[in-house]
Structure 1
Protein backbone atom coordinates (compact mmCIF):
# COMPACT_ATOMS: atom_id res chain seq x y z
CA UNK A 1 0.00 0.00 0.00
CA UNK A 2 1.31 3.46 -0.88
CA UNK A 3 1.05 6.48 1.38
CA UNK A 4 -1.78 7.89 -0.81
CA UNK A 5 -3.92 4.78 -0.85
CA UNK A 6 -6.47 3.69 1.68
CA UNK A 7 -7.54 0.13 2.39
CA UNK A 8 -10.43 -1.22 0.34
CA UNK A 9 -13.83 -1.00 2.00
CA UNK A 10 -15.47 -4.19 3.22
CA UNK A 11 -17.47 -6.31 0.79
CA UNK A 12 -21.03 -4.97 0.49
CA UNK A 13 -22.99 -8.12 1.25
CA UNK A 14 -26.26 -6.43 0.29
CA UNK A 15 -25.18 -6.56 -3.37
CA UNK A 16 -25.57 -9.75 -5.35
CA UNK A 17 -24.13 -11.31 -8.47
CA UNK A 18 -26.08 -10.25 -11.57
CA UNK A 19 -26.48 -12.74 -14.40
CA UNK A 20 -28.61 -11.75 -17.39
CA UNK A 21 -29.92 -13.85 -20.27
CA UNK A 22 -29.58 -11.41 -23.18
CA UNK A 23 -32.53 -13.02 -24.96
CA UNK A 24 -34.79 -12.65 -21.89
CA UNK A 25 -33.74 -9.55 -19.94
CA UNK A 26 -35.56 -9.03 -16.66
CA UNK A 27 -36.67 -5.55 -17.73
CA UNK A 28 -37.98 -6.75 -21.07
CA UNK A 29 -37.59 -4.95 -24.38
CA UNK A 30 -38.41 -1.33 -25.21
CA UNK A 31 -39.08 0.36 -28.54
CA UNK A 32 -37.45 3.78 -28.52
CA UNK A 33 -36.60 6.21 -31.34
CA UNK A 34 -37.03 3.43 -33.90
CA UNK A 35 -34.65 1.11 -32.06
CA UNK A 36 -35.24 -1.78 -29.63
CA UNK A 37 -33.40 -1.67 -26.30
CA UNK A 38 -33.09 -4.06 -23.36
CA UNK A 39 -31.82 -2.96 -19.97
CA UNK A 40 -29.39 -5.81 -19.26
CA UNK A 41 -27.87 -4.44 -16.06
CA UNK A 42 -29.62 -1.56 -14.32
CA UNK A 43 -28.44 1.11 -11.96
CA UNK A 44 -30.53 -0.56 -9.26
CA UNK A 45 -28.29 -3.63 -9.65
CA UNK A 46 -25.00 -1.68 -9.57
CA UNK A 47 -25.72 0.81 -6.78
CA UNK A 48 -25.99 3.47 -9.49
CA UNK A 49 -22.44 2.95 -10.76
CA UNK A 50 -23.38 2.03 -14.35
CA UNK A 51 -26.01 0.44 -16.57
CA UNK A 52 -25.64 -1.84 -19.59
CA UNK A 53 -28.09 -1.65 -22.49
CA UNK A 54 -28.47 -4.04 -25.44
CA UNK A 55 -29.33 -1.88 -28.46
CA UNK A 56 -30.82 -3.34 -31.64
CA UNK A 57 -30.67 -0.61 -34.29
CA UNK A 58 -32.47 -1.13 -37.62
CA UNK A 59 -31.26 0.50 -40.81
CA UNK A 60 -32.01 4.21 -40.43
CA UNK A 61 -32.34 3.93 -36.63
CA UNK A 62 -30.64 5.97 -33.96
CA UNK A 63 -31.35 8.87 -31.60
CA UNK A 64 -31.36 12.58 -32.42
CA UNK A 65 -28.32 14.72 -31.53
CA UNK A 66 -27.94 15.10 -27.77
CA UNK A 67 -25.44 15.38 -24.94
CA UNK A 68 -25.37 14.37 -21.29
CA UNK A 69 -23.15 14.67 -18.25
CA UNK A 70 -22.21 10.97 -18.04
CA UNK A 71 -19.81 8.75 -19.95
CA UNK A 72 -21.25 6.47 -22.61
CA UNK A 73 -19.40 3.56 -24.20
CA UNK A 74 -20.63 1.49 -27.15
CA UNK A 75 -19.33 -1.84 -28.41
CA UNK A 76 -20.65 -2.68 -31.87
CA UNK A 77 -21.49 -6.39 -31.89
CA UNK A 78 -23.12 -6.75 -35.31
CA UNK A 79 -23.19 -4.52 -38.39
CA UNK A 80 -21.87 -1.00 -38.52
CA UNK A 81 -22.95 2.33 -37.06
CA UNK A 82 -22.11 5.93 -37.98
CA UNK A 83 -21.22 7.96 -34.90
CA UNK A 84 -21.27 11.74 -35.11
CA UNK A 85 -19.15 13.28 -32.36
CA UNK A 86 -18.75 17.06 -32.13
CA UNK A 87 -19.86 17.33 -35.76
CA UNK A 88 -17.42 14.74 -37.16
CA UNK A 89 -18.89 11.46 -38.49
CA UNK A 90 -17.11 8.13 -38.39
CA UNK A 91 -18.30 4.66 -39.44
CA UNK A 92 -17.64 1.99 -36.81
CA UNK A 93 -17.68 -1.72 -37.59
CA UNK A 94 -18.54 -4.77 -35.46
CA UNK A 95 -15.79 -5.48 -32.97
CA UNK A 96 -15.03 -1.80 -32.31
CA UNK A 97 -15.68 0.16 -29.13
CA UNK A 98 -16.47 3.88 -28.97
CA UNK A 99 -16.30 6.04 -25.84
CA UNK A 100 -18.30 9.29 -25.73
CA UNK A 101 -16.96 11.69 -23.07
CA UNK A 102 -19.46 13.38 -20.80
CA UNK A 103 -21.03 16.61 -22.13
CA UNK A 104 -19.91 16.09 -25.75
CA UNK A 105 -22.58 16.52 -28.47
CA UNK A 106 -23.15 13.28 -30.35
CA UNK A 107 -25.57 10.86 -31.96
CA UNK A 108 -25.45 7.66 -33.95
CA UNK A 109 -27.26 6.36 -37.00
CA UNK A 110 -27.36 3.00 -38.73
CA UNK A 111 -26.85 3.79 -42.42
CA UNK A 112 -25.49 0.35 -43.35
CA UNK A 113 -28.60 -1.06 -45.02
CA UNK A 114 -28.74 -3.90 -42.47
CA UNK A 115 -29.61 -4.25 -38.76
CA UNK A 116 -26.90 -3.51 -36.20
CA UNK A 117 -26.49 -4.40 -32.54
CA UNK A 118 -24.49 -2.69 -29.80
CA UNK A 119 -23.91 -2.85 -26.09
CA UNK A 120 -24.03 0.55 -24.41
CA UNK A 121 -22.63 1.20 -20.94
CA UNK A 122 -23.46 4.46 -19.20
CA UNK A 123 -21.62 5.52 -16.08
CA UNK A 124 -23.06 6.49 -13.76
CA UNK A 125 -26.41 4.82 -14.34
CA UNK A 126 -29.62 6.70 -15.06
CA UNK A 127 -30.06 6.28 -18.79
CA UNK A 128 -31.71 2.93 -18.08
CA UNK A 129 -34.39 4.67 -16.00
CA UNK A 130 -34.88 7.38 -18.61
CA UNK A 131 -35.36 4.82 -21.40
CA UNK A 132 -37.78 2.84 -19.24
CA UNK A 133 -39.89 5.97 -18.75
CA UNK A 134 -40.01 7.03 -22.41
CA UNK A 135 -39.92 3.72 -24.31
CA UNK A 136 -42.80 1.43 -25.29
CA UNK A 137 -42.65 -2.21 -24.14
CA UNK A 138 -42.42 -4.77 -26.96
CA UNK A 139 -42.36 -8.57 -26.85
CA UNK A 140 -38.78 -9.17 -27.99
CA UNK A 141 -35.72 -7.93 -29.85
CA UNK A 142 -37.29 -8.34 -33.28
CA UNK A 143 -40.84 -7.26 -32.38
CA UNK A 144 -42.22 -4.38 -34.38
CA UNK A 145 -42.59 -1.14 -32.44
CA UNK A 146 -46.15 -0.01 -31.80
CA UNK A 147 -47.74 1.94 -34.62
CA UNK A 148 -48.14 5.45 -33.26
CA UNK A 149 -50.40 8.10 -34.62
CA UNK A 150 -48.80 11.50 -35.30
CA UNK A 151 -50.32 12.75 -32.01
CA UNK A 152 -48.95 9.76 -30.06
CA UNK A 153 -45.52 10.23 -31.61
CA UNK A 154 -45.55 13.94 -30.76
CA UNK A 155 -46.56 13.08 -27.17
CA UNK A 156 -43.65 10.59 -26.88
CA UNK A 157 -41.20 13.19 -28.19
CA UNK A 158 -42.56 15.86 -25.84
CA UNK A 159 -42.31 13.47 -22.87
CA UNK A 160 -38.73 12.55 -23.78
CA UNK A 161 -37.78 16.23 -24.07
CA UNK A 162 -39.54 17.13 -20.81
CA UNK A 163 -37.86 14.32 -18.85
CA UNK A 164 -34.40 14.70 -20.41
CA UNK A 165 -33.14 17.32 -17.91
CA UNK A 166 -34.13 15.03 -15.01
CA UNK A 167 -31.64 12.52 -16.45
CA UNK A 168 -28.88 15.08 -17.13
CA UNK A 169 -29.54 15.01 -20.88
CA UNK A 170 -29.97 17.85 -23.37
CA UNK A 171 -31.62 17.24 -26.73
CA UNK A 172 -29.93 19.29 -29.48
CA UNK A 173 -32.74 19.39 -32.03
Structure 2
Protein backbone atom coordinates (compact mmCIF):
# COMPACT_ATOMS: atom_id res chain seq x y z
CA UNK A 1 0.00 0.00 0.00
CA UNK A 2 1.25 3.50 -0.85
CA UNK A 3 1.65 5.77 2.23
CA UNK A 4 -0.30 9.01 2.51
CA UNK A 5 1.19 12.16 1.01
CA UNK A 6 3.51 14.05 3.38
CA UNK A 7 2.48 17.74 3.04
CA UNK A 8 5.60 18.81 4.95
CA UNK A 9 7.65 17.86 1.86
CA UNK A 10 7.69 20.59 -0.77
CA UNK A 11 8.42 20.86 -4.47
CA UNK A 12 12.06 21.69 -5.20
CA UNK A 13 13.03 23.41 -8.45
CA UNK A 14 16.77 23.30 -9.15
CA UNK A 15 18.16 26.23 -11.12
CA UNK A 16 21.78 25.63 -12.17
CA UNK A 17 22.50 29.37 -11.84
CA UNK A 18 21.33 29.44 -8.22
CA UNK A 19 22.86 26.54 -6.23
CA UNK A 20 25.25 26.81 -3.36
CA UNK A 21 28.48 26.38 -5.30
CA UNK A 22 31.55 24.81 -3.77
CA UNK A 23 35.08 24.63 -5.16
CA UNK A 24 36.67 21.23 -4.52
CA UNK A 25 40.43 21.10 -5.22
CA UNK A 26 40.21 21.82 -8.95
CA UNK A 27 36.50 21.21 -9.55
CA UNK A 28 33.38 23.33 -9.05
CA UNK A 29 30.35 21.49 -7.70
CA UNK A 30 26.92 23.08 -7.33
CA UNK A 31 24.50 21.47 -4.88
CA UNK A 32 21.29 21.51 -6.93
CA UNK A 33 19.18 19.29 -4.67
CA UNK A 34 20.44 18.46 -1.21
CA UNK A 35 19.79 15.56 1.09
CA UNK A 36 18.11 18.02 3.43
CA UNK A 37 15.52 18.69 0.70
CA UNK A 38 14.88 14.97 0.05
CA UNK A 39 14.90 13.66 3.63
CA UNK A 40 18.25 12.04 2.84
CA UNK A 41 16.93 9.96 -0.07
CA UNK A 42 19.30 11.44 -2.70
CA UNK A 43 21.21 14.54 -3.75
CA UNK A 44 21.90 16.04 -7.18
CA UNK A 45 25.20 17.80 -7.86
CA UNK A 46 26.15 19.89 -10.91
CA UNK A 47 29.82 19.05 -11.49
CA UNK A 48 32.05 21.30 -13.58
CA UNK A 49 35.40 19.63 -14.09
CA UNK A 50 38.37 21.29 -15.83
CA UNK A 51 40.38 19.44 -18.44
CA UNK A 52 42.42 16.78 -16.63
CA UNK A 53 40.37 17.18 -13.44
CA UNK A 54 38.68 14.50 -11.38
CA UNK A 55 38.99 12.70 -8.06
CA UNK A 56 41.53 10.05 -7.07
CA UNK A 57 40.44 6.39 -7.00
CA UNK A 58 37.88 5.82 -4.27
CA UNK A 59 34.81 3.82 -3.28
CA UNK A 60 31.76 4.35 -1.10
CA UNK A 61 28.69 2.48 0.09
CA UNK A 62 26.11 4.46 -1.88
CA UNK A 63 25.02 4.49 -5.52
CA UNK A 64 26.34 7.24 -7.77
CA UNK A 65 24.94 8.10 -11.21
CA UNK A 66 26.52 10.57 -13.65
CA UNK A 67 24.93 12.11 -16.74
CA UNK A 68 27.54 13.77 -18.95
CA UNK A 69 26.19 17.09 -20.25
CA UNK A 70 29.35 18.47 -21.89
CA UNK A 71 32.70 16.95 -22.81
CA UNK A 72 34.21 13.48 -22.56
CA UNK A 73 34.97 11.84 -19.26
CA UNK A 74 37.03 8.71 -18.73
CA UNK A 75 35.63 6.54 -15.94
CA UNK A 76 37.86 3.86 -14.45
CA UNK A 77 35.63 1.19 -12.93
CA UNK A 78 37.25 -1.77 -11.16
CA UNK A 79 40.44 -1.01 -13.09
CA UNK A 80 38.80 -0.89 -16.55
CA UNK A 81 38.63 2.41 -18.45
CA UNK A 82 35.47 3.61 -20.21
CA UNK A 83 35.28 6.77 -22.34
CA UNK A 84 31.88 8.40 -21.87
CA UNK A 85 30.62 11.24 -24.05
CA UNK A 86 28.01 13.95 -23.56
CA UNK A 87 24.49 12.51 -23.55
CA UNK A 88 25.46 9.27 -21.82
CA UNK A 89 24.73 8.18 -18.25
CA UNK A 90 26.93 6.02 -16.02
CA UNK A 91 25.86 4.23 -12.83
CA UNK A 92 28.51 3.30 -10.27
CA UNK A 93 27.28 0.55 -7.92
CA UNK A 94 27.89 0.97 -4.22
CA UNK A 95 31.28 -0.25 -2.94
CA UNK A 96 32.91 -0.51 -6.40
CA UNK A 97 36.35 1.11 -6.82
CA UNK A 98 36.26 3.91 -9.39
CA UNK A 99 37.33 7.38 -10.41
CA UNK A 100 36.89 9.71 -13.35
CA UNK A 101 39.05 12.12 -15.33
CA UNK A 102 38.01 14.82 -17.80
CA UNK A 103 39.81 13.98 -21.04
CA UNK A 104 37.95 16.49 -23.26
CA UNK A 105 40.67 19.04 -23.77
CA UNK A 106 38.02 21.50 -22.47
CA UNK A 107 35.83 21.81 -19.38
CA UNK A 108 33.32 19.00 -18.81
CA UNK A 109 30.00 19.17 -17.04
CA UNK A 110 28.05 16.34 -15.40
CA UNK A 111 25.05 15.85 -13.18
CA UNK A 112 25.76 13.45 -10.33
CA UNK A 113 22.99 11.84 -8.30
CA UNK A 114 23.93 10.02 -5.10
CA UNK A 115 21.50 7.79 -3.25
CA UNK A 116 21.22 8.00 -0.36
CA UNK A 117 22.35 11.60 0.06
CA UNK A 118 25.43 12.66 1.98
CA UNK A 119 27.95 13.42 -0.73
CA UNK A 120 26.52 16.93 -0.95
CA UNK A 121 27.26 17.54 2.73
CA UNK A 122 30.74 16.00 2.40
CA UNK A 123 31.65 18.29 -0.51
CA UNK A 124 30.34 21.32 1.38
CA UNK A 125 32.47 20.42 4.41
CA UNK A 126 35.72 19.85 2.50
CA UNK A 127 35.49 22.59 -0.12
CA UNK A 128 35.51 26.35 -0.33
CA UNK A 129 32.41 28.29 -1.32
CA UNK A 130 32.74 30.38 -4.49
CA UNK A 131 30.36 32.99 -5.91
CA UNK A 132 28.97 30.74 -8.66
CA UNK A 133 29.70 28.12 -11.28
CA UNK A 134 31.70 30.56 -13.43
CA UNK A 135 33.63 32.13 -10.54
CA UNK A 136 37.38 31.63 -10.51
CA UNK A 137 38.70 29.09 -8.02
CA UNK A 138 40.07 30.40 -4.75
CA UNK A 139 43.78 31.09 -4.71
CA UNK A 140 45.01 28.46 -2.26
CA UNK A 141 48.60 28.15 -1.11
CA UNK A 142 50.24 24.71 -1.28
CA UNK A 143 49.69 24.41 2.49
CA UNK A 144 45.99 25.27 2.11
CA UNK A 145 45.64 22.71 -0.72
CA UNK A 146 47.28 20.07 1.46
CA UNK A 147 44.94 20.97 4.33
CA UNK A 148 41.88 20.47 2.05
CA UNK A 149 43.19 17.04 1.02
CA UNK A 150 43.76 16.11 4.68
CA UNK A 151 40.25 17.26 5.55
CA UNK A 152 38.82 15.17 2.70
CA UNK A 153 40.72 12.10 3.90
CA UNK A 154 39.81 12.69 7.56
CA UNK A 155 36.08 13.04 6.79
CA UNK A 156 35.86 10.25 4.20
CA UNK A 157 34.88 7.51 6.66
CA UNK A 158 32.24 9.76 8.24
CA UNK A 159 30.61 9.88 4.80
CA UNK A 160 30.98 6.14 4.10
CA UNK A 161 33.88 6.59 1.66
CA UNK A 162 37.51 5.60 1.32
CA UNK A 163 40.35 6.66 -0.95
CA UNK A 164 42.32 3.86 -2.57
TM range (shorter): over 0.9
Q: In structure 2, which of residues 93, 101, 108 is the aligned counterpart of residue 101 of structure 1?
A: 93
Q: In structure 2, which of residues 33, 36, 48 is the aligned counterpart of residue 56 of structure 1?
A: 48
Structure 1 residues not aligned, in runs of 5+: 1-6
Task: Tell me what 2:13 maps to.
Answer: 19
Structure 2 residues not aligned, in runs of 5+: none
CA distance, structure 2, for counterparts of residue 150 and residue 54 of structure 1 = 26
Task: Tell me what 1:40 maps to.
Answer: 32
CA distance, structure 2, for counterparts of residue 86 and residue 111 of structure 1 = 19
What is the CA-CA distance between 1:132 and the residue it aligns to? 0.5
What is the CA-CA distance between 1:143 and the residue it aligns to? 1.5
State the TM-score, normalizing by the size of structure 1.
Answer: 0.93
Contact kept in structure 2, 1:33 and 1:61, CA below 8 Å = no
Matched residue pairs, number?
A: 164
Instruction: Please tell me whether Structure 1 or Structure 2 has the larger radius of gyration of its CA atoms.
Output: 1
Q: In structure 2, which of residues 143, 146, 149 is the aligned counterpart of residue 151 of structure 1?
A: 143
State the TM-score, normalizing by the size of structure 2.
Answer: 0.98
What is the CA-CA distance between 1:33 and the residue it aligns to? 2.7
Write the mapping of 1:1-173 to structure 2, written as runs, cut at 5 A.
Answer: 7-25=1-19, 28-172=20-164
Q: CA RMSD in A?
A: 0.7
Contact kept in structure 2, 1:82 and 1:109, CA below 8 Å = yes
